[in-house]
A and B are shown apart, each in its own frame.
Chain A
Amino acid sequence: MSEAEITTNTGDSPNDLVENGLNKLVVKCKYCGSKILDKKLGKYILQEKELPLMQQDTRKEGEIQNEKVNQFYHVENMFTFDNIGFTHTVDCYKYLSCADCDAGPVGYYDMNSKHSYVALSRIEHA
């Protein structure tokens, strides 16, 4: 994962999803609907991060395909989540996955700060 450029700028947050800087809706798994995070528990932030794709092309063996993601919900305490999986550590990170169907990464956990970040584009709002 590449270095992040953290900006706390939330000025242009999507109004239909974010209220008072927090997720307005429940965060669920895109694939199975498992509840990941309750409303108003994730802080909306903008930061550019590279996340491995959920679906890797198995023909390109040993090569991880990433994409740039920049909208996240920041969760300070991991026990705030309703249902979530944590992978083994890779460099300084653990990746987050759906606890029910194992789809992911839906975000990452920073081993140093012990904070979690859920990518808006990798989940469903309900």
Chain B
Amino acid sequence: MAKKTYDLLFKLLLIGDSGVGKTCILFRFSDNHFTTTFISTIGIDFKIKTVELRGKKIKLQIWDTAGQERFHTITTSYYRGAMGIMLVYDISNEKTFDDIVKWLRNIDEHANEDVEKMILGNKCDMEEKRVVSKERGEAIAREHGIRFMETSAKSNINIDRAFSELAEAILDKSAGREADADHARIAVERRPSRAPPARACCS
């Protein structure tokens, strides 16, 4: 029996219109020397990150999704099992902000009922191009009872903080019902044995 290396596992998603910066949020904005690597050419599917919150070791599995309309069916399939969703818009693009409402409806239709959400106004480094004020971001978040933060993938502002806050919110939700949390953990640990037999993907 393998040693248990964590207490909880949270699956998180990044969603939002095309171009808002989801991929950059997951894949560190690379104006460093890794820009032309093999990894940047293939692209990141998901990351696993470990955070410690209130004495609990929590693994975050963070998935990127595609914002383009033609990928929506695929994007929706990622919702299954997601415990947290980062809903991203671009503060320099009005349309991406207006579409937040559409994405929220989409989440209501396809995600778990108790999924924890957070709205991110990304590209806050571009003050001179801003068309959506921070107040409007806060207002829409308040209206839907969701957390809000402005971020910049480029300048690495609030990215880690946003993920810890989302994780903390999920933890809070499960706090009053530790039994449920334990249950979720057991489900996670058992997953490998319940998984369908390995599919040969390269026969």
Partners in one complex: yes
Q: How large is the interface on A (under 10, 10 to 19, 20 to 34, 35 or more residues)?
A: 35 or more
What's the least CB distance linking A49 to chain B, in Å?
A: 15
Q: List the count of A-B residue pairs having beta carbons below 8 Å apart.
A: 105
Q: Does the CB pair A102–B38 fall under 8 Å?
A: no
- Within the assembled complex, what's the spacing in Å between the Cα atoms of A86 and B47? 6
Closest chain A residue, CB of each to CB of B200: A112
Query: Which of B5, B37, B199 contacts A104, CB < 8 Å?
Result: B37
Q: Looking at chain A's contact residues, is the secondary structure mostly helix, strand, loop, or mixed?
A: loop
Chain B interface residue count, Cβ-Cβ cutoff 8 angstroms: 35
A87 with B44: in contact, given A38-B5, A54-B37 (CB under 8 Å)?
A: yes
Q: Which of B28-86 contact A (CB under 8 A)?
A: 28, 30, 32, 34, 36-50, 59, 61
What's the least CB distance linking A8 to chain B, in Å?
A: 18
Q: Does the CB pair B48–A78 fall under 8 Å?
A: yes
Q: Does the CB pair B38–A79 fall under 8 Å?
A: no
Query: Which of B36, B42, B46, B198 contacts A114, CB < 8 Å?
Result: B198
What's the least CB distance linking A58 to chain B, in Å?
A: 5
- Within the assembled complex, what's the spacing in Å between the Cα atoms of A80 and B3? 9
